[in-house]
């Protein structure tokens, strides 16, 4: 396995047409710069249309024209690319993140948790966040809402061995950007895992695509590339890249949440007990 890999995120304009063509163009540009993992925002193929409750009429299946076009390009360029799009499956429409790579179409993730924009036309997904093997390490997929509001998906992916999280986002709440940035920074520091975030920009979306990497002292994080959500240049469209050390999660100083802790005789993270907590919650009358 190669320890280092160049990762790119795209601050993708939502208020211009030609979404698929621009997606492919950015992928070529990132590959020319040496990037091997490229992340686009949630709803990248929907753009400003995601604000319309009738967006479901533009959804397409996977495999379908968009995913097949990207799969053909990632095979040609020998890169991985993840992008968001509305996906139709039977009568249901999902807000999904599609991953393509050198092997072609690798799969999709239907967002478990929907933003207010997505909830106008999408159905919550029921698949677990996926973790894909690459020559550079294991890569997990999350939606922006998953990453910001629910820690379960990130902890699940970390426990499955993920070494990088791709968070396809579409933030359109400027007043929340400073708080969101603090949450993302804490997620990276606490879990000792880099998170790449891609956002739409324009048509009310705030941009702020960037890559956060673990940093010392323990449980800290730094912006490795791009501009944070609350940064002065968050709204500038473009491609931002950084070389990441995929072994950092194991080699940097960290607390033993996910491995054997000599002090207590077990890992600190306790899914066996959490399962009991969730099962009891599901039986509670107030939850129903």
Choose among 124, 230, 225, 144: nearest CA to 187: 144
Q: What is the pLDDT of residue 277?
A: 92
267 in a domain, yes or no? no
Q: Could you tell me which residues are beta bridge partners of residue 37?
A: 7, 80
| Residue 261 within a domain | no
- Counted domains in the chain: 1
For the stretch 30-84, pLDDT in tens is: 999 999 999 999 989 887 776 676 566 678 999 999 999 999 999 999 999 999 9
What pLDDT was estimated at residue 92? 92
Q: Is residue 205 part of a domain?
A: yes
Question: What pLDDT does 67 receive?
Answer: 96
CATH for 163? 3.60.110.10
Cα 195 from chain centroid (whole Å): 8
Q: For residue 3, give Cα distances in angstroms to 84, 136, 166, 245.
A: 27, 6, 17, 6
How far is the C-alpha of 62 from the C-alpha of 83, rounded, in Å?
12
| Any domain includes 265 | no
Q: Would you state the pLDDT for residue 260?
A: 79
Is the dihedral angle over the CA atoms 275, 276, 277, 283 positive or is it negative? positive
Q: How far apart are CA 99 and CA 101, in angstroms?
A: 7
pTM of the entire predicted model: 0.94
In a domain, 285, yes or no: no
Distance between CA atoms of residues 51 and 46, nearest Å:
9
- Which residues have a Cβ under 8 Å from the Cβ of 1 and sit 6 or more positions away? 135, 136, 137, 246
User: Residue 96 to residues 2, 67, 176: CA-CA distances in angstroms?
Assistant: 29, 11, 23
| Total residues found in the chain within this entry | 288
pLDDT digits (tens, 9 = 90+) for 223-266: 999 999 999 999 999 999 999 999 887 888 777 777 778 888 88
pLDDT of residue 16: 67
Please indicate, yes or no, if residue 260 is contained in any of the structural domains. no
Average pLDDT of the residues of the chain: 91
The range of the structural domain enclosing residue 168 comes to: 4-255
pLDDT, position 50: 67
């Amino acid at each position: 396995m190669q320890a280092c890999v160049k990762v790119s995120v795209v601050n993708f304009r939502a208020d211009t047409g030609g979404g698929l063509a621009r997606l492919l163009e950015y992928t070529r540009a990132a590959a020319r710069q040496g990037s091997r993992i490229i992340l686009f925002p949630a709803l990248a193929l929907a753009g400003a249309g995601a604000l319309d409750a009738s967006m479901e009429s533009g959804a397409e299946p996977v495999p379908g024209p968009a995913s097949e076009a990207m799969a053909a390009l990632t095979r040609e360029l020998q890169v991985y690319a993840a992008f968001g799009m509305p996906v139709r499956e039977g009568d249901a429409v999902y807000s999904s993140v599609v991953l393509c790579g050198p092997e072609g179409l690798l799969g999709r993730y239907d967002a478990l948790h929907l933003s207010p924009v997505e909830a106008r036309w999408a159905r919550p997904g029921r698949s677990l966040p996926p973790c894909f093997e690459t020559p550079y390490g294991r890569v997990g997929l999350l939606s922006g809402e998953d990453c910001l509001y629910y820690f379960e998906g990130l902890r699940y992916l970390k426990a499955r061995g993920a070494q990088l999280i791709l968070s396809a986002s579409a933030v359109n709440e400027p007043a929340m950007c400073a708080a969101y940035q603090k949450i993302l920074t804490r997620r990276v520091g606490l879990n000792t895992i880099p998170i790449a975030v891609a956002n739409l920009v324009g048509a009310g979306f705030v941009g702020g695509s960037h890559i956060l990497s673990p940093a010392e002292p323990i449980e800290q994080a730094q912006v490795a590339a791009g501009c944070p959500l609350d940064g002065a240049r968050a709204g500038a469209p473009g491609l931002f890249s950084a070389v990441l050390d995929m072994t950092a999660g194991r080699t940097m100083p960290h607390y033993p949440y996910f491995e054997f802790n000599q002090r207590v005789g077990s890992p600190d993270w306790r899914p066996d007990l959490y399962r009991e907590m969730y099962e009891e919650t599901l039986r509670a009358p107030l939850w129903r």
